[in-house]
Structure formats: structure tokens, C-alpha cells
């Protein structure tokens, strides 16, 4: 590690976040210069890293991350202030949900299509979708851009620590987890499962939904599956490194 990196707090966490921004852009799950990821770095979860205001995911580096205090009311006054909606959503989340160590918010296409359906719950249609059985919550009271009041309202919907995905009606999704690797893997698989479901609906043919007991069993098995999220992120970082990406700078 060079001298400049030694003076930057939470370096490894920054690198992991930067890798997920880069890969999210590559998957076209980004929204231009909008959307945001955050990661708590203190015990009660109120201090967190987050991407800078309106910087494209494909350019974000580890050293670009903002370090934000969710309890600092002057956060939006500084020269490096975060996006106001990012502050509203993630500040509210990290104040009210200490179990949400990492949070990733995107408007990925298929998850957002799901969020626009009258019934926005992802059913256990395939193995990936079964991962989210009884582990998702739907916000059906969209109230406009996620400034502080709206962000606080959304955060309070994550009152059940078992539920790790919020389908934000008419908006997108918010995914939470304990680590960057876990949260990114969950976000990625949810989008894949939503894509299968949306395309299955487009056939107009009857769906073969898994029985509740099999869906629950599969969800538990996937939850206990060892280190797939860790290996997923490690492989993505290895690919970026081999390509000479500057994400870890």
C-alpha cells in the first residue's frame, strides 16, 4: 500500500464498494449519475461510506468515497455534500436500521418493472427467486423523491431484519446486508430473478410457482451456502485487476 492510501480510512471497504460500482455499471444496472451504495463503518452504523454526488458508477474509485455521519444535520452544507436524495435514503436507513450495514439502491430494469406491478412481490418461480421467499418487503406508498422525510419513511419499512430487499413501488429496489459482498450478490441475484419472472409473464402461459415449503427450504439452504458472495466479489475484483482498472485507487 502506498503512503497516500495509508492516510485514507477504511481503505479495503472503499475498494470493495468501488468494485461493485464498476460492475453495476458494466451490467447496465446503473442510472446514469444517480443511484447510490453505502457501507457503515462504525459500531452503531451511523457513519458510512457513500459514492460522491452525481459521479458515474463507471468512474468511481476507492478514494472518491464520501465518509458521512448520519447524525450530522449540516451534511448537505459542505463542498463535498452528497446527493440530497442519497442523504435522505441512506442517512435515514443508517440512523434507524443498525442491521443494514450495507445498502444498495438501484433502478435496474427488471426489478423496477416488478416495482411497477400492482403485486410487486417476487414469487418463488425459480431457484434464484426462492432465495427471497419471505425476505422482501414492498413499499406501496411512493411519495416522490427521497428527500429526508421520504427517506425516513422508507427506512422504517425495514423493521424486520430478516427482510433484506425492499421493492420500492414505482421507484426501484433497496437491498441491504452485512457486507459489500453479501449485499451486491443479493442485488445481482434479485435482478436476475426479476428478469426471469418478467419474461415468464410475457409468455402468457401458466407459471409453475414453487410450493411454500420448498421455497422456504431453498431460501434457508441458499442463506447457509458458504462464501458464494465472497467469491463472487473476489472474482469481479480479479477481473478488474487483470484489465488494469483504476477502481482501487
Instruction: Compute φ and ψ for 176, nearest 5 degrees.
Output: -125, 165
Range 219-234 burial, b when 16+ CB lie within 10 A, else e: beebeeeeeebeebbe
Instruction: State the chain's mean pLDDT as an integer.
Output: 94
- State yes or no: pLDDT of 105 exceeds 50: yes
Condensed to tens digits (0 to 9), the pLDDT of residues 49-82 reads 999 999 999 999 999 999 999 999 899 998 889 9
Instruction: Compute φ and ψ for 88, nearest 5 degrees.
Output: -60, -50
CA proximity to 154, closest of 169, 139, 175: 139
Separation of CA 209 from chain center: 26
- State yes or no: pLDDT of 125 exceeds 70: yes
Q: How far apart are CA 88 and CA 86, in angstroms?
A: 5
5-14, 125-134, 212-221: range with lowest mean pLDDT: 5-14
Which domains are present in the chain? Answer: 3-242 (3.40.225.10)
Q: How far apart are CA 109 and CA 182, in angstroms?
A: 21
- State yes or no: pLDDT of 109 exceeds 90: yes
pTM: 0.94
pLDDT score of 146: 74
Q: For the beta carbon of residue 94, count every other beta carbon within 10 angstroms.
A: 27
Amino acid at each position: 500500500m502506498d503512503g497516500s492510501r495509508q492516510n485514507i480510512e477504511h481503505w479495503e471497504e472503499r475498494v470493495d464498494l468501488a468494485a461493485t460500482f464498476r460492475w453495476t455499471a458494466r451490467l447496465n444496472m446503473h442510472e446514469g449519475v444517480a443511484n447510490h451504495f453505502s457501507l457503515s463503518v462504525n459500531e452503531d452504523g451511523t457513519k458510512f461510506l457513500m459514492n460522491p454526488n452525481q459521479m458515474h458508477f463507471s468512474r468511481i474509485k476507492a478514494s472518491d468515497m464520501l465518509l458521512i455521519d448520519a447524525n450530522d444535520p449540516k451534511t448537505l452544507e459542505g463542498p463535498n455534500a452528497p446527493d440530497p436524495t442519497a442523504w435522505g435514503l441512506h442517512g435515514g436507513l443508517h440512523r434507524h436500521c443498525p442491521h443494514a450495514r450495507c445498502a444498495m439502491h438501484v433502478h435496474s430494469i427488471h426489478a423496477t418493472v416488478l416495482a411497477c406491478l400492482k403485486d410487486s412481490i417476487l414469487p418463488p418461480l425459480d431457484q434464484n427467486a426462492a432465495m427471497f421467499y419471505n425476505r422482501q418487503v414492498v413499499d406501496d406508498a411512493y411519495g416522490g423523491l427521497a428527500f429526508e422525510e421520504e427517506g425516513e419513511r422508507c427506512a422504517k419499512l425495514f423493521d424486520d431484519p430478516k427482510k433484506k430487499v425492499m421493492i420500492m413501488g414505482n421507484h426501484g429496489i433497496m437491498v441491504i446486508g452485512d457486507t459489500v459482498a453479501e449485499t451486491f450478490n443479493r442485488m445481482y441475484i434479485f435482478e436476475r430473478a426479476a428478469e426471469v419472472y418478467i419474461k415468464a409473464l410475457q409468455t402468457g402461459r401458466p407459471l409453475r410457482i414453487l410450493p411454500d415449503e420448498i421455497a422456504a427450504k431453498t431460501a434457508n439452504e441458499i442463506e447457509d451456502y458458504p462464501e458464494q458472495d465472497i467469491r463472487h466479489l473476489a472474482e469481479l475484483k480479479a477481473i478488474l485487476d487483470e484489465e488494469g482498472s483504476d477502481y482501487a485507487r
